[in-house]
Structure 1
Amino acid sequence: MLAEHRQQLVRFFTSRTGDAAEAEDVVQEIWLHVARASGGPVAHPLAYLHRIGMNIALDRLREGRRRARREQGWTDAAVSIAGHEAVDETPSPLAVAEGRQRIRALAAAIEKLPPGAARVFRRHKLDGLGHAEIAAELGISRSAVEKHIAVALRHLREALE
């Protein structure tokens, strides 16, 4: 049934979709649908094929629109426009790997800090406490807190260079 109407269906769906390749895909899907169908004889085979094809074409159109919206959402979130060109601001895999390596190096350097400097550095930089809060908590002067932080930063700078 489909073989005798194939060319007519391709022309019909090319006019509907505006794309010969898309029409070929629709006709191929019609064939798959008909091959899976287990119904009896069809009174108007050409009308039946057209109806199946229109349903398939509409489904493909809807899926294309959903895909375009999804891709636009991703583009809006991950790409910015610089001049007239799109710029993807997501870091490259190399940049991600280098960042992870730097984080591991920083963590190792923090572990090697002198105990007093490490404790003050962690409370200030990682826990977000102010100098006065750390001094009160540890029972040392603000000046001592500042010296511990200076020692920690010097050690970390040397370790990371």
Structure 2
Amino acid sequence: MAGRGKSAARDPLLDVYLERRETLVRFLAARAGSRAAGEDLAQELYIRIAGRDPAAGADNPLALLYRMALNLALDRARGERRAAAREAAWRETAHTRIGAVDVADEPPADEAVASRQRLRRMIEAVAELPPQAQRAFRLHKLEGLSHAETARAMGLSVKSVEKHVSAALKSLTAKLGA
């Protein structure tokens, strides 16, 4: 850049970061537990430094750099502890433990069989619908399209789609008793 010369403002903090990057990575890796985590934190640190106003001076750039690095490492550690606590809480509520083994909470066999039978009856009932009602029902209720989107897909008016979906729901309710 031709306009940038010796008068251009330099960021002493960025200069110190670039000089000490490898040492910072080792410092962060020791706190984060791995070289890869140290590299990630060093990159986050660079982004924070590069994004700050270079005119914001620092009395001791090296001390500020290490304080920022330590704060990033502490923030990451806190986040990992919170994630582990959430995972443990979820596991406690969503799983059953027998001894030291997690046992997946599955529905009882009779409920699973009854659900499969209801699903089979529903599939059969949908298959018995008139073709337009069947297609409108599938697009709107099963694929999640709006009435307008279903109308465009079927080449019908929105009112026609509403009538087909309504007829399908009435028919299914009558056949399935729900």
TM category (shorter chain) comes to: 0.5 to 0.7
TM-score normalised by the chain length of structure 2: 0.50
Aligned mates of 1:73, 1:66 — CA distance in 2: 10
SS of residue in 2 equivalent to 1:81: strand
Deviation at 1:105, TM superposition (A): 6.1
Deviation at 1:106, TM superposition (A): 7.3
1:96-125 alpha-carbon deviations (Å, 9 max, x no partner): 7x7644335679xxxxxxxxxxxxxxxxxx
Does 1:36 pair with 2:36? no
Unpaired segments of 5 or more residues in structure 1? 108-161
Preserved contact between residue 26 and residue 56 of structure 1 (Cα < 8 Å):
yes
1:7-36 alpha-carbon deviations (Å, 9 max, x no partner): 110111222233222211111110010111
Q: Percent of pairs identical after alignment?
A: 34
Does 1:61 pair with 2:86? no
Give the 3 Å change call, closer, same or farther, for CA 24–74 of structure 1 in structure 2.
same
Aligned mates of 2:66, 2:114 — CA distance in 1: 57
Deviation at 1:63, TM superposition (A): 0.7
Preserved contact between residue 10 and residue 27 of structure 1 (Cα < 8 Å):
yes
Unpaired segments of 5 or more residues in structure 2? 1-14, 123-178
Write 1 or 2 for the structure with the bigger share of helix: 1
Q: What corresponds to 1:80 in structure 2?
A: 96
1:131-152 alpha-carbon deviations (Å, 9 max, x no partner): xxxxxxxxxxxxxxxxxxxxxx
Q: 7-16 or 37-46: which moved more?
A: 37-46
Q: What corresponds to 1:25 in structure 2?
A: 40
Deviation at 1:51, TM superposition (A): 1.1
1:66-91 alpha-carbon deviations (Å, 9 max, x no partner): 11111001100111223432122156
Aligned mates of 1:90, 1:72 — CA distance in 2: 19
Aligned mates of 1:90, 1:24 — CA distance in 2: 42
Aligned mates of 1:74, 1:19 — CA distance in 2: 27
Matched length: 105
Determine which structure has more spread, i.e. the larger CA radius of gyration: 1
